[in-house]
Structure 1
Amino acid sequence: MLSFGVVNKRRVAPVINRLLAFSLTLLMVSGCGTRWFPETVKVAPAVVDEASGVGRKIVQTTTGLVYGNSTYNTDILILDVGAPSFQDAVNVAHDRLRLRGWVTSKKGESVVYMHLKKEGRDNTLLIESLKSLEEYGVAQEAQVVKAIKADQAKSGTYIVLALTPSD
């Protein structure tokens, strides 16, 4: 017969109570949406590819914003849609995106906000000018500068599509 000796109930009870309290705390915190491991949230590659199809892609890059324990990636596309002016380029891109299922949220003179639910996620897209690259911190990236300089067409009417997951 195995014997573990005399169990002191006064010492065991507080240990069990602490374990139960810790377990309940973990259960409650995990139910509150707390993430235990870092997460990267991004637009599905199929959505990015579809959006890039509205024009000739000059370059694509990504930037990320850290919020809490998650990194939200923004895919940035620089496109040439073959329009003679920036405003015409915005209109062409807007019309082509609408044909692909994107819905206009807000349209201004220099920026258009659109959204699309696809691949199980809500996605937001902005159509902007090259000046917006400064805001995203990618204007001086070597690949961006090199791609714009190397573009043979040099149309000067590039547009920026910024795609972000929005849920």
Structure 2
Amino acid sequence: MAPSHTSVFTPMAAKLPPEITESGLKAILADVEDNRVATPVGKGQSGLETVVADAQSHGIPLSIVVIPGNPGHDSNLRDLATEVGKQQHGTVVVLSDDWVGTYSDSISRVTLEWAEDAAKSKQGNSVEAARIFVGRLEEPESVSWTAITLVLLAITVLATGGLYWVKARRAREELTPAVAAGRPGDADR
């Protein structure tokens, strides 16, 4: 009997950073509930509160969590952001020394990752990373997909109409010489 093989690409379960225990997660949630910012003691609390207030003034319900060091995998930060987002709602950014993880119930993953990329590798300067992240979220969308879709639709309609007009014109031109030549049987039509 041949051995059975399971897939080597089994998805991993969501994991919080190794240093975040269940009680640690509860403490983070309580800290975020208080002022939408959870940081280790003395880690830029007031600066991050200012960033949160700025984001909220631009319509972004933001929560910021800072964890010291870097976890085993950067995806742990996204998992932590998702856990906080389930309770807090809005947009959550989790910052470590060099990595960023995010969750949002209103901002697309593409936009979040674009903002994350700019905020990475700030050597633990969480206030600077948060400002960069929010700055990216506040930028107006440079590409209007609605406008692009409408332009492409208009081009398609014009091309279709133009092809119809060309075919109709050719058909008339082919018919006109036959009528002018007075072919037998043409008058009967």
Report the TM-score when normalising by structure 2: 0.25
Q: By percentage of residues, which structure has more helix?
A: 2
Q: By percentage of residues, which structure has more strand?
A: 1
Q: Name the structure, 1 or 2, with higher relative contact order (CA <8 Å, separation 6+).
A: 1
Q: Which has the larger radius of gyration?
A: 2
